[in-house]
A and B are shown apart, each in its own frame.
Chain A
């Protein structure tokens, strides 16, 4: 009888230790950070030259992690100058004032809405190259259309820009406007251009490809 009780006690203790260690295992799992959805208004991206003249001027760099523009030479993910958008990955196209790529960023453009693009297609990611940017330039090639009659830059509906950040995280961007204060019907004689307004969703968990 005493033996039985001892066995029961040992069984209970073993069960308790077993359960306790299971609990510890669970505690070691790092919880995923929440996906962040943000809006950026009036990010100014000036350029000099253009219209037949060499383009120059500093790019306005943006860091998805902080959600801020930055002048850092290394801690940036994407950068804007006029209608050009570059990534901190790959190599320079060689235009004047283009920053050196120090990270591992990449990008691609896909069709859909912010809600419908829920997974990064890593096979589609490309970096900037000497032959062209990951986000192609030119009307109808990338994120915008240029109306040569009204001199108007309009984001193309349903174009979502997907980025891999310099550190291997992911973000998706929907450009809303290229004009200051994002007017519904921009008038180029009144509204100042090269002011980006965009929505973005940043996946703060490294290598997680779902949004």
Chain B
């Protein structure tokens, strides 16, 4: 009888623990915050939003546009938390890990204690939130995508102004899990391969140029190029399994926002590669950009007068980006 009582007590305690555990698990509510640069045209943003639609079946989703912009990021967090979210998986839909945007995100989300670069406070064109608001705890500054809208001297002086300004990390109660950008993910390689295949006629006679925006910093640029080379290796593998290999695949960056000397050098290197490759075969140029709506037009300007194949199609729209987000969220929650 005594033994029975003891067993009953243990069962009761275990039961209470189980209920508590179950309660704790049920109260965890996952939200997903998608970060993306944003484009000049609203279609850029819409395409990104469309790619996140399928996710809404399983998670509460918000999209924050901008270049590590504390205002839009805070808005996104606030919207998720107001819906009871307790865990936020942040998915940076950016091409590369190697940029001040990503490092500033890490700071804003509390992954870094200090800023790794001078603070950037800028928006993309057409954003409805193009002014930083004091009430959000950040200094007021006008937005606008600087490299498109301002002379480079102005850009530098603005950068100095920003250096003197403080940038506080974001306010959040939730647990934040910051996932990785697109980088050389196999799903990205598949998209680029699809884009090439749409234009390819005779692979062994074709030189493929994968062209990305690229950063200003030299070391960052080396890492961007390495990442594109990694994608190129994956594409070679995919293609070799299908038979004919492409003649050559090169990855390069145009470094849109760099100083004029670097900008011109990058432009000449792109033109030289297209021109030289075109003397002995066909050239296919693929933009490594997230969405259509502005930057790729600059690529075309750089290539004026040269012969090459071009569809202008970017990573989006493509189902692989939705897959990438889903996989990133699942992996983030698993490793947490």
Asked if B225 and A115 sit within 8 Å, CB to CB, the answer is yes
Q: How many residues of B contact A (CB 8 A)?
A: 23
Q: Say whether B222 faces chain A, with CB atoms less than 8 Å apart.
A: yes
Complex: A113 Cα to B268 Cα, angstroms: 12
Return chain B residues, CB-CB under 8 Å to A154: 276, 279-280
Q: Which of A114, A145, A155, A156 contacts B269 (CB 8 A)?
A: A114
Q: Which of A114, A155, A157 contacts B248 (CB 8 A)?
A: A157
Asked if A174 and B248 sit within 8 Å, CB to CB, the answer is no
Q: Which of A113, A115, A156 contacts B280 (CB 8 A)?
A: A156
Return chain B residues, CB-CB under 8 Å to A115: 221-222, 225, 252-253, 269
Given contacts A111-B248, A174-B269, contact A184 B280 (CB under 8 A): no
Asked if A176 and B222 sit within 8 Å, CB to CB, the answer is no
Return chain B residues, CB-CB under 8 Å to A145: 279-280
Return chain B residues, CB-CB under 8 Å to A147: 279
Interface string of A104-116 (1 = CB under 8 A from B): 0000000111111
A-B contact count (CB 8 A): 61
Contacts from A to B (Cβ < 8 Å): 37, 39, 111-116, 118, 145, 147, 154-158, 174, 176, 184, 199
Complex: A157 Cα to B269 Cα, angstroms: 10
B150 to chain A, nearest CB (A): 25
Asked if B250 and A158 sit within 8 Å, CB to CB, the answer is yes
A203 to chain B, nearest CB (A): 13
Complex: A155 Cα to B276 Cα, angstroms: 7
Complex: A183 Cα to B273 Cα, angstroms: 14
Q: Which of A116, A156, A157 contacts B229 (CB 8 A)?
A: A116
Asked if A199 and B280 sit within 8 Å, CB to CB, the answer is no
Asked if A184 and B277 sit within 8 Å, CB to CB, the answer is no
Complex: A113 Cα to B277 Cα, angstroms: 12
Return chain B residues, CB-CB under 8 Å to A37: 265
A-B contact list, 16 entries, CB within 8 Å: A113-B225, A113-B252, A114-B269, A115-B221, A118-B226, A156-B276, A157-B207, A157-B250, A157-B280, A158-B276, A174-B272, A184-B275, A184-B305, A184-B306, A199-B268, A199-B269
Q: Say whether B31 faces chain A, with CB atoms less than 8 Å apart.
A: no
* Minimal Cβ-Cβ distance residue in B for A147: B279
Other A-B pairs beyond A112-B250, A115-B252, A116-B225, 20, CB < 8 Å: A39-B265, A112-B229, A115-B225, A116-B226, A116-B250, A116-B251, A118-B226, A145-B279, A145-B280, A147-B279, A154-B276, A155-B276, A156-B276, A156-B280, A158-B248, A158-B250, A158-B277, A176-B268, A176-B272, A184-B305
Given contacts A157-B248, A184-B305, contact A113 B226 (CB under 8 A): no
